[in-house]
Amino acid sequence: MKQPAKKAAKKGGPPVIDPYLPNNGNFGYRVSRYELDLEYKVAINRLTGTATITAATLASLKTFTLDLSAALSVSKVTVNGRRPSNFSASNGKLHITLSTPLPAGAAMSINVRYGGNPRPIRSYWGEVGFEELSNGALVAGQPNGAASWFPCDDHPSAKASYRIQISTDSPYRAVANGELVSRRVRAAQTVWTYEQPEPTSTYLITLQIGMYGAHKLPKSQVPMQAVLPDRLRPEFDQDFGRQPQMMKLFVKLFGPYPLSNGYTVVVTDDDLEIPLEAQGISIFGANHCDGKRGAERLIAHELAHQWFGNSVTARRWRDIWLHEGFACYAEWLWSENSGGRSADQWARHYHAKLASSPQNLLLADPGPRDMFDDRVYKRGALTLHVLRGTLGDEKFFALLRDWTSRHQHSTVVTDDFTGLAANYAEVSLRPLWDAWLYSTEVPRL
C-alpha cells in the first residue's frame, strides 16, 4: 500500500494525508461541526437526509472534496447557501467546485442532501461502516467507514462536534453518540436527537438501531447505561455487572472519564466477531453476553478506549499502538485489580507467545495490513509494562493521567508520548523505545 503512494508522489499525483489510507481525508479546509438530519427505513435499508457541515478554509479554495461512499447518491449541494458551479461523485469522493473561490480563513456551511441503500466499505480489514443486522443496523466505523453513511472528512486527525437527528420506525430504538436531547414520536416514526459536544474523529461516530430496551447501571460514579434486547438482560447483568468497578479503577489510574454524557454499552441481537468502540459507546454482540463473564477482558478493553483512542487519538494510523497497546494493558490492569492474574503474569504469558511468533512487525509503524494485528496489541501492552517497571507505579500512572489530561480530545503521535515520558524518568528511555518501538525483534523481558 505504501508503494502506490510513493509512485503517485513521483508522478505528481494527489498529496496523501496518511499513507495507510491514501484515499481518505481531504485538503483545504477544517471541519468544526457536523449536523446530520436523517431518516432510516429498516425494512428496505433506505437512508436519506441532509448533512450540514461547518468548516473553515485553510487556503484559498475553489474546489474541494468530501469522503462519501458510492452507495449513496447526492441530489443537492449548497455552500454558504449558494449552489456550486458543479458537484460530482467518483472513487469514494464528492467533488465540489465553487463558482467563485473562497479566501483563506473563510467560513463554510456545506449542505449536502443525499440518500441510498448504505452498505459497508470494503477494506484490507474486512467490511467497515454501515451494516444491516437481521432486524436493525449498526455502524462500525474504524478505520474508514464513516463515509458509508455521511459525507465527511474521514481521518482521525479531523475532529469535530456532532448533532445527529435520526428518524426511524417507532418500535426501534436509535442510539448515537452524545446526550439524547430529544425524543419525539411523529406518526409511526420516532425522531431521536443526540448532541456530541466533545471533538470526535469521524470513525468514532456511530448509529445503532434495533429492538432494544435501555436501563441504567447502578452504583457507578460515571452515568452508565445499557441498550440491548430484553431477552439478554439476565446474562447482561452477570457479564457486565462489574463495569462500575472497572470505571472506578480506570478513573483512578487514567484520570477523569473524558466525556460529559456518560457511557453506553450496546448489545446487538446478532452475534459480532469483535466488539467495537465509539465515542462514549461500546458495541458488543449477543455472543458476548453468555452469562459466564467470558467477555470481561473485552469489556475492560472497550471501556479503556474512551481514554486511549477516543479522547486521545492517534493523528495517523501508524501510531495505532497508542490506542490498542494501552487498551490491552488496561485489560491486564483490570485482571490484576479484580482477583485475576497480575499484569506481570500476563506480560510473561504474552511475551512467550510473541517470542515464538514472526518477528517482522515494527510497533511504531506496522504497515496498513498489520495495523490491527494482535502483535500490535500485545507488544504495545508489553512496552507499557516495561515502562512501568522502569518508572515505578507512582510515576507510571502519573504519566498516564498527565497524558490523558494534556491531550484530552486532541490528536497525538508516538513522539508526544515518548517525549512526555522522559519527564518522568531518571534515566534515558531511548534504549527502551529503540528495543520495543523501533526494532522488529522481540526484546527480552
Domain ranges of the chain: 25-208, 213-306, 314-436
Q: Within 10 Å of residue 435's Cβ, how many Cβ atoms?
A: 15
Class of domain 25-208: mainly beta
Class of domain 213-306: alpha beta
| Fold matches, 25-208 and 213-306 | no
Question: Which residue is associated with the grid cell 494493558?
Answer: 329
Q: What is the pLDDT of residue 35?
A: 99
Question: What would the grid cell of residue 216 be?
Answer: 441504567
Give, to the nearest 10 degrees, the angle between helix 393-406 and helix 243-254.
90
Helices (H), 241-295: 243-254
Going by C-alpha positions, the residue among 141, 139, 114, 109 that lies closest to residue 31 is: 109
pLDDT beneath 50: ranges in the chain: 1-11
Domain 314-436 grouped into CATH 1.10.390.10: yes
Residues whose CB falls within 8 Å of the CB of residue 187, separated by 6 or more in sequence, listed in order: none
Question: Which residue is associated with the grid cell 436527537?
Answer: 193
| Amino acid at the residue 70 | A
Going by C-alpha positions, the residue among 175, 171, 92 that lies closest to residue 137 is: 175
H helix or E strand, kind and range, residue 263: strand 263-267
| Amino acid at the residue 366 | P
CA distances from 386 to 203, 228, 255, 437, 444 (A): 31, 39, 21, 12, 10
Predicted confidence (pLDDT) per residue in 40-61, tens digit: 999 999 999 999 999 999 999 9
Q: What is the pLDDT of residue 9?
A: 39
Predicted confidence (pLDDT) per residue in 179-200, tens digit: 999 999 988 999 999 999 999 9
Residues whose CB falls within 8 Å of the CB of residue 99, separated by 6 or more in sequence, listed in order: 82, 84, 85
Does the pTM surpass 0.85? The reply is yes
